[in-house]
Amino acid sequence: MSYQIINLNLTGVIFFSSLVLVQIAVCQGKYKAETETILLDTLFTNYTRYRKPVELYSKTIPVGINLYILSLNEVDVKSQTLHLASWLEVTWTDEYLTWNTSEFSNIQYLRLPAVKVWVPVVCNLQEISGKKCVTYGSVTNSGSEVGVENTGRVFLSETIESIIICSFNVQNFPFDTQTCSFEFFSPNYFLQNIHLVQNQSSFQSGYYIPNEEWDLVSTTVKEVGYYTLEMTITLRRIPLFPTLSLIFPIIALSIMNTFCSLLPIESGEKMGMSMAIFLTFAVFGSMISDSMPKNSVHISWFSVYVTTQIILNGFSVIMVTVVLHIYYKDVVSSRTLDLVEDNSGQSGTLHEMFAKRSSVQSDIQNKKQEKKMCQAKRLDRCMMIFTICTNVVSFCVYASLILS
């Protein structure tokens, strides 16, 4: 009997203790939620977002900018623009948004709408898309949020699809390296004494998704003056695809142009092959010019090489025309004389003298024709040597310019 009583008492104690613990947990949860509400009421009772966030108005506001590149969408060399997805984080200290964590249940961080707090004006000078500046209006339209620490440190983060103006130098195409700059500037720095600080800023690529056409080489941050930060990104083109699709075909056409001189003149294919190669060069030249910027300062050495090959091939077409003209110039007149000689042989003795004369003229004409054929063949050989030398020299010059 006593054993059963002890058992019942123990069960009652355990049940009562459980109820007490549950009640304490519920009370603590309500207390924490109410504490955060009290903290917000305390911070924003007399707070206005249009007031400079320092107690001493003449005090400088250090502003840091952290730019995280997420992906490289497009490098448009022709229009001189860089398309990328990035994550922009602007940080500063608001002296009116500080609190003692021991008084508010160790709450160290608040998440708030950006429309509730003061926001510095920061613009990207190279940005040409809609999201050029961070302002009161931009954070209102985008519904941005901020994180606030108990020390007053404020973090404003936004994901941006950027289009940046960039001056590309394509001289070493397709083995080129491009550098683009982001210049962040505060237009009202002189009104509220805003200082863009380099040691609180960074340009990071930890979240970067690799691009199939460009390699990300490096990112740097440099302070330009008191109110401007310059962030640069260096990209290197992956040359495999343009090498296979452009350089090798152009070199192959140059070799074909050289071997075109080996075709016998009698085959009748020299002009057709020369014209086919010339038209192919023209197509490649048009493709390359369409993909290059209309810039006279930094002209691609590869475009110069292709233009040289087009000019050389055009000269080859002219020389083939001259060679064929020399080779076949007296063929018609020689055949005419042979026909006259054959007809005169059928006319009897009255035409013997005329036949002999025609035979002599035919022999002379044949010798002249053979002489001119030899001249045409020599000219054709000279043209072949000239084409080989010019191709080798132009390729060596192009390679040395690329490697230098």
Has residue 53 been placed in a domain? no
185, 18, 29: which is closest to 10 by C-alpha?
18
Q: Are 309 and 257 in contact (CB under 8 A)?
A: yes
Looking at residue 6, its pLDDT comes to 41
**Burial grade of 348 (CB within 10 A; 0-12, 13-18, 19 or more):** exposed
DSSP string covering 300-344: -HHHHHHHHHHHHHHHHHHHHHHHHHHHHTTHHHHHHHHHHHHHH
Given the structure tokens 């009652």, which residue do they identify?
Answer: 12
Taking only the tens place, the pLDDT of each residue in 121-139 is 999 988 887 678 888 888 8
CA distance 5 to 271: 119
The reply to whether 267 and 362 lie within a common domain is: yes
The reply to whether 294 and 186 lie within a common domain is: no
CA distance 168 to 187: 27
Taking only the tens place, the pLDDT of each residue in 333-354 is 444 445 444 554 444 454 555 5
The reply to whether 225 and 362 lie within a common domain is: no
Taking only the tens place, the pLDDT of each residue in 171-183 is 888 899 999 998 9
137, 132, 125, 120: which is closest to 196 by C-alpha?
120
70-74, 192-196, 230-234: the lowest-pLDDT one = 192-196
Taking only the tens place, the pLDDT of each residue in 362-391 is 566 566 667 667 777 778 788 888 888 888
What is the model's pTM? 0.74
Structural domain for 12, as ranges: 1-46
The reply to whether 164 and 254 lie within a common domain is: no
Say which DSSP state 177 is in: E
Given the structure tokens 């440190």, which residue do they identify?
Answer: 153
CA 100 to chain centre: 50
Which CATH number do you get for residue 112?
Answer: 2.70.170.10
- Domain finish residue from 185, 218, 238: 238
* Residue positions counted in the chain: 404
Taking only the tens place, the pLDDT of each residue in 70-115 is 999 889 888 889 999 999 999 999 999 999 998 888 999 999 999 9
DSSP string covering 190-239: HHHTEEE-STT-EEE-TTPBPPSSEEEEEEEEEEETTTEEEEEEEEEE--
Q: Is 164 helix (H, G, I), strand (E, B) or coil?
A: strand
Bridge partners of 156, per DSSP, are 90, 146
Q: Mean pLDDT highest for which of 8-22, 68-82, 249-263, 335-349?
A: 68-82
Looking at residue 390, its pLDDT comes to 85
Higher pLDDT, 115 or 332: 115
Bridge partners of 85, per DSSP, are 71, 161
- Domain finish residue from 217, 238, 259: 238
CA distance 221 to 94: 24
The reply to whether 87 and 209 lie within a common domain is: yes
Has residue 55 been placed in a domain? no
As for how many domains the chain has, the answer is 3
Q: Are 72 and 216 in contact (CB under 8 A)?
A: yes
With a CB cutoff of 8 Å and minimum separation 6, the contacts of 304 are 398
Bridge partners of 117, per DSSP, are none
CA distance 108 to 96: 15
- Domain finish residue from 220, 238, 256: 238
